[in-house]
Chains A and B, each alone.
Chain A
Amino acid sequence: MAVCRVRPRLAGLLVNGLLLGGATITLLPLVWMVSVSLMSPGEASAFPPPLLPGRVTFANYRELFAHAGMGRYLVNSVVLTIVVTLVSVLFNVAAGYAFAKLRFAGRDRIFKVLLGALVIPSQVAMVPLFLLLKQLGLVNTYGGVIVPAMAGIFGIFVVRQYALSIPDDLLEAARIDGANEFRIFRSVIAPVLKPIVVTLAVFTSLGTWNDFMWPLIVLNDSELYTLPVALASLSREHVQDNELMMAGSVLTTLPVLLVFLVLQRYYIEGLTLGSVKG
């Protein structure tokens, strides 16, 4: 700390200056995206690249909704995200709680197998999963995205770690009072698990919204495209339409950024819960 004692002001300036530089680099592309999305078509293709629109216009957004089917993609993304989040959080929370606090044959062995399977990248399953869903008639339907995502090992793991800290006395007391296990789960456990439920919900919804490879594979009909899949396909067609693509990027990524800003405490807690404390 010798340096800091001699020149605390200089060191402070350096630390904060570096952080300011870093924050500029992370935020500038996002701010520039919003700015270009408000420019008239062709305006951004100039040298030097303009930072602000000469005249603010929402023409690109109108164009996306009127001719590129953006409204439809938005609905697809919203519906899929909500359904996947609701179902998978329910299944993962119930299973995570049971692995932590209830007794059943083979519990620890099953959990170990699940943990071991975390090393398998999900892409290993994709080809056969596609064929399986084809057999079930789920390819090219919402179900093709929803069904495989209804439970996840990581979610179960995170909930279990959290639920381990629930004191057994709490459960015993409720059992002695004659409550059955489902009643206990609903009225005793659910309130205790609320923070981890919110964390998991935020994680799952952002992950589902942003997911690209699987929806790209399983959804072929453009009517069913989610925003990322639609945006990737549009960007291959409209390579030169800078302003239009930026408007598409805003619509795709702004919702998740806003959700993150509002609920970031839960999100960041989840990040460190799965790693440092686990």
Chain B
Amino acid sequence: MRNVGAAWCFVAPALLVIAVFFFLPVVAGLAMSLTDFDIYALADSGNLRLVGLQNYAQLLQTPLFWQAFGNTLYFVVVGVPLSITVSFGAALLLHSRLVKFQAFFRTALFAPVVTTLVAVAVIWRYLFHPHYGLLNYALGLLGIPPIDWLGDPHWAMPAIIVFAVWKNFGYNMIILLAGLQSIPGQLYEAARIDGASMWQQFRHVTLPMLAPIVTMVNILTIAGYFQLFAEPYVMTQGGPLQSTVSVLYFMYEEGFKWWNLGSASAVAFVLFLFIFCVTAVQLRLARWQSAA
């Protein structure tokens, strides 16, 4: 049939690109993670050996990998709730009937999302400067002594989290705002007639209606935060004392600095497996919650 041929012409280019440059590398990555692919194999594939799960076993014995994993977990566990709370707060404020210039505020709060990550990371590196940074200056006005944000191993990750929240919260804010706007007004009216207070309306109308969107926002944000890379690359280069080395930063150095490509593939798959499990648990929880 002529129509079927035409249909394939429409999908073939995109499918070909995705198959060759995404699916094939993913499968090849899994295979590579079972080999000792390194700089010698890069020069001559005759040096390639199959080593089974040795890369994975070795990773689990590498202290820096565990440190990177712990740092990334810190970033996710603190950063995601903070980020979503700010997004939710901002969405509620924008949704209020009392707000003037809603369009202006929405654009202003969203602006950091579209900026170039590397460029704003460079800006924030200076905002965090211990002597000349605006942040310490502002804290000084409040009587708080200066903090060596990016130079102190205890403060470097919190600083990166502050920056990431600033950069990202606008994205979820827009999605949550759209969710708030899609809740039918009658539900609130009915609740008011029943004498529900503002808090009760929020608790029994807004939250349950938003639950599916909040679940989705959680899943996407967690997956995104696990992929921390450019922030430490630009702001701290993994330091000080490797306190900001993330899993992807570790993978990048392992693969493209030391050319241990087999081991780097294993890192990528461990990260993927972990994100996948966290996502699955969240979906299960959401289903269980909506059933309860």
**Nearest-Cβ distance from residue B108 to partner chain A, whole angstroms:** 4
Residues of B within 8 A of A94 (CB): 10-11, 13-14
**Nearest-Cβ distance from residue B279 to partner chain A, whole angstroms:** 6
Report yes or no: B98 in contact with A15, Cβ–Cβ below 8 A: yes
**Nearest-Cβ distance from residue A109 to partner chain B, whole angstroms:** 12
Report yes or no: B29 in contact with A125, Cβ–Cβ below 8 A: yes
- Considering the complex, which residues of chain B in the window 240-289 have a beta carbon less than 8 Å from any beta carbon of chain A? 248, 251-252, 255-256, 261, 264-265, 268-269, 271-272, 275-276, 279
Whole-angstrom CA separation of A229 from B233 in the bound complex? 11
Whole-angstrom CA separation of A26 from B265 in the bound complex? 37
Residues of B within 8 A of A182 (CB): 6, 9
Report yes or no: A104 in contact with B4, Cβ–Cβ below 8 A: yes
Cβ-Cβ contact count across A and B, 8 Å cutoff: 295
Contact (A153, B18) CB under 8 Å given A125-B26, A181-B7: yes
Report yes or no: A95 in contact with B132, Cβ–Cβ below 8 A: no
Whole-angstrom CA separation of A85 from B3 in the bound complex? 28
Contact (A127, B265) CB under 8 Å given A151-B13, A261-B107: yes
Contact of B88 with A by CB under 8 A: no
Whole-angstrom CA separation of A128 from B41 in the bound complex? 13
Report yes or no: A121 in contact with B227, Cβ–Cβ below 8 A: yes
Whole-angstrom CA separation of A128 from B166 in the bound complex? 34
**Nearest-Cβ distance from residue A175 to partner chain B, whole angstroms:** 8
A121: contacting residue among B24, B90, B174, B275, CB under 8 A: B275
Contact of B112 with A by CB under 8 A: yes
B32: contacting residue among A12, A128, A229, A257, CB under 8 A: A128
Residues of A within 8 A of B126 (CB): 36, 44, 242, 245-246
Task: Tell which of B60-68, B152-160, B175-183 binds the partner.
Answer: B175-183
Contact of B58 with A by CB under 8 A: no
Residues of A within 8 A of B116 (CB): 209-210, 227-228, 231, 249, 252-253, 256
In which size bucket is the chain A interface?
Answer: 35 or more
Contact of B75 with A by CB under 8 A: no
Interface residues of A (CB under 8 A from B): 1-4, 8, 11-12, 15-16, 18-20, 22-23, 25-30, 32-33, 36, 44-49, 91-92, 94-95, 97-99, 102-105, 107, 110, 114, 117, 119-132, 147-148, 150-153, 156, 180-182, 185, 206, 209-210, 212-213, 216-217, 227-229, 231-232, 235-236, 242, 245-246, 248-250, 252-253, 256-257, 260-261, 264, 267-268, 271-272, 275-276
27 sample A-B contacts, Cβ–Cβ < 8 Å, listed by A number: A2-B197, A4-B198, A11-B98, A20-B105, A23-B104, A26-B108, A32-B127, A94-B10, A94-B11, A94-B14, A102-B3, A104-B4, A124-B29, A125-B22, A127-B265, A132-B20, A132-B24, A156-B14, A180-B2, A180-B6, A212-B117, A217-B256, A227-B119, A232-B230, A249-B119, A253-B116, A264-B107
Interface residues of B (CB under 8 A from A): 2-4, 6-11, 13-15, 17-18, 20-26, 28-29, 32, 42, 90, 93-94, 96, 98-100, 104-105, 107-112, 114-120, 122-127, 131-134, 137, 166, 170-171, 174-175, 178-179, 182, 192, 197-198, 213, 216-217, 223, 226-227, 229-230, 233-234, 237, 248, 251-252, 255-256, 261, 264-265, 268-269, 271-272, 275-276, 279
